[in-house]
Amino acid sequence: MTAGRHHYLILTGFAFLLGLGAMVAFRANVAAEEAAGDQGERHDQLVQIVERLEDKKQYLEESLATLRSEVSRREQQAASGRGLSRTYGQELEQMRMAAGLVALQGPGIEITLADNPQPPELGQDPNNYIIHDYDVRILVNALWLAGAEAVSVNGQRIAQGTAVRCVGTTILVNNTRIGSPFTILAIGDPVRLKNVLSLDEDARLLLEQYSKLFGLQATVDVHDEILVPAYAGSLTPRVLQPLTDEAVTVTGPGKEAP
């Protein structure tokens, strides 16, 4: 082989290796650029995902705040409703007490009235020796004026619509017939209730004078604890009708003097 041919082969090989190196370098550079591009695109995608998650997180936090505010508002409404319910309940209970629909217990006095156990002497009016409806009314009215909180007669609670009237030889209270002896219970300041019985003229005449003149039994006792039952009758009148002049009568407040 000649020297020229040998140098040609060397140059050809060197050129081939140089081209091969250049090609490899080019491909490596392209691959690196593609990889860099992929990483950049992936980075952008991750950034977008993070931004979406942050937006969703903010939305959920705002929703949670709204729900908490709504819960708080409803709790306040519920609390207000319970308070309103308690207020109505208290007012209803006060009205029930005022109407006599609730049994009451407390300090007060007990008044006992009874007919004369002995028959009247010949020629005397027997009506003077028994307790009448107006006798009971006198004492009940005096107790109310003294500030009594509750009053009952023989277990019958005296309410606003209670009538105390005479029917034959008995007294009708809340449409219930009661007879002698009569027990009047009153809850209130015992001292004040007892004092009014001496200050009220009609009550004083009945308890201090008529009882002695006609042998009526009358006692007044103070108690630290008295139970007055609840009103058990109806609060609604069944029949309303005007009274004629003949039906209106006036009954005297006390006994007839002998």
Model pLDDT for residues 132-150, shown as the tens digit of each residue: 999 999 999 999 999 999 9
pLDDT at residue 104 is higher than 50: yes
Please compute the mean of the pLDDT values over residues 204-230 and round it to a whole number: 92
Terminal alpha carbon distance of the chain: 182
In the numeric block, the tokens 């009448």 are attached to 132
pLDDT at 50: 65
Taking only the tens place, the pLDDT of each residue in 38-81 is 666 776 777 677 677 767 766 775 776 676 567 657 766 666 66
- Average pLDDT of every residue of the chain: 76
More confident residue, 100 or 216: 216
Contacts of 238 (CB under 8 A, 6+ apart): none
pLDDT, tens digit (0-9, with 9 covering 90-100), for 225-250:
999 988 876 666 665 566 555 444 43
Which range is most confident: 33-37, 86-90, 123-127, 254-258?
Answer: 123-127
Going by C-alpha positions, the residue among 115, 162, 157 that lies closest to residue 135 is 115
User: What pLDDT does 145 receive?
Assistant: 92
Per-residue pLDDT tens digits for 160-177: 778 888 877 788 888 888
- Which residues contact residue 156 at a Cβ distance below 8 angstroms, ignoring those fewer than 6 apart? 162, 173, 174, 176, 178
Beta-carbon contacts of 181 under 8 Å, excluding residues fewer than 6 positions away, are 112, 113, 114, 115, 217
Least Cα distance to 139 among 191, 178, 86, 196 occurs for: 196
Predicted local confidence at residue 107, as pLDDT? 97
203-212, Cβ contacts within 8 angstroms, sequence gap of 24 or more: 203/138, 203/139, 203/142, 205/254, 205/255, 206/135, 206/138, 206/139, 206/254, 206/255, 207/139, 210/128, 210/254, 210/255
Residue 15 pLDDT: 53
Q: What is the rounded distance in angstroms from the CA atom of residue 91 to the CA atom of residue 65?
A: 38
Identify the residue with better confidence: 62 or 192.
192
pLDDT per position as a tens digit, 76-95: 666 666 666 666 567 666 77
19 versus 181: the higher-pLDDT residue is: 181
